[in-house]
């Protein structure tokens, strides 16, 4: 029955009926938890889908509740640097950002970043985006030193975007890297100088993401 409810939930989700989807995912999770326990892939799958549906419905507190359930399952199921753990950490970081719990947002974004670095390397587009998230969330949490630290890593590795046509497209990628490159102001030693002589000046919008611009005083 747990699988039946899950498939019904998927059908509703595919039709954009998120409230009906979440109702069926919850029924599936209850049955799967009773049969298998929480530390089982099928139970985790249901928790993850419930979290995603609540996120789609803008019910962020409930989304956090179920993503935390999924996280606990995944910690028991997978090794520390598993892809699924990285995804859940990042989801929680964004949700805590939405609820303005910035310290928690920064905590989970950094955990997600560490997984991405271990699996994908520092210059992968997902890792670079995580550096930006960590910088932004630490800035909002009042952790300026950490914001600078992660922000510099974001700037340093942003060149990867200029070589990746799959993220925003080549024109947008070149523009994105150009903004980061402009912080150098013609010096090759900007990274060391940036920490002591610059400050965060503004945030500017991109589709579905907020980026941080760095400049000198």
Contact 138, 108 (CB under 8 A): no
Collect all residues with Cβ–Cβ distance below 8 Å to 131 and sequence separation of at least 6.
113, 150, 151, 153, 154, 157
User: What is the value of pTM for the model shown?
Assistant: 0.74
- What is the mean predicted confidence (pLDDT) over 117-146? 86
Q: Residues 13-23: pLDDT tens digits?
A: 899 999 999 99
Tell me which of 40 and 173 has the higher pLDDT. Answer: 40
95 has pLDDT over 70: yes
Tokens describing residue 102: 């910035």
Residues whose CB is less than 8 angstroms from the CB of residue 108 and which lie 6 or more positions away in sequence, other chains included: 89, 90, 92, 93, 96
On whether the CB atoms of residues 72 and 53 are closer than 8 A, the answer is no
Domains in the chain, ordered, with CATH? 1-77 (1.25.40.10), 78-217 (1.25.40.10)
- The C-alpha atoms of residue 40 and residue 32 are separated, in whole angstroms, by 8
22-38 tens-digit pLDDT = 999 999 999 999 999 98
CA pair distance 94, 8, nearest whole angstrom: 28
DSSP at 200: E
């Amino acid at each position: 029955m747990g699988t039946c409810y899950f498939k019904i939930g998927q059908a509703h989700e595919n039709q954009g009926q998120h409230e009906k989807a979440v109702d069926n995912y919850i029924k599936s999770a209850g049955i799967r938890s009773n049969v298998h326990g929480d530390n089982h892939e099928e139970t985790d799958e249901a928790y993850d889908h419930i979290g995603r549906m609540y996120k789609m419905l803008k019910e962020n507190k409930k989304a956090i509740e179920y993503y935390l359930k999924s996280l606990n399952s995944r910690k028991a199921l997978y090794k520390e640097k598993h892809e699924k753990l990285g995804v859940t950490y990042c989801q929680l970081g964004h949700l805590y950002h939405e609820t303005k719990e910035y310290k928690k947002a920064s905590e989970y974004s950094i955990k997600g970043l560490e997984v991405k670095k271990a699996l994908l390397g520092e210059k992968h587009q997902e890792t670079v985006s995580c550096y930006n998230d960590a910088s932004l969330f630490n800035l909002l949490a009042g952790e300026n030193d950490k914001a600078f630290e992660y922000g510099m890593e974001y700037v340093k590795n942003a060149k990867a975007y200029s070589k990746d046509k799959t993220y925003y497209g080549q024109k947008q990628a070149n523009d994105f890297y150009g903004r980061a490159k402009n912080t150098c102001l013609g010096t090759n030693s900007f990274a060391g100088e940036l920490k002591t002589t610059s400050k965060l000046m503004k945030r500017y919008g991109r589709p579905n993401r907020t980026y941080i611009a760095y400049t000198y005083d």
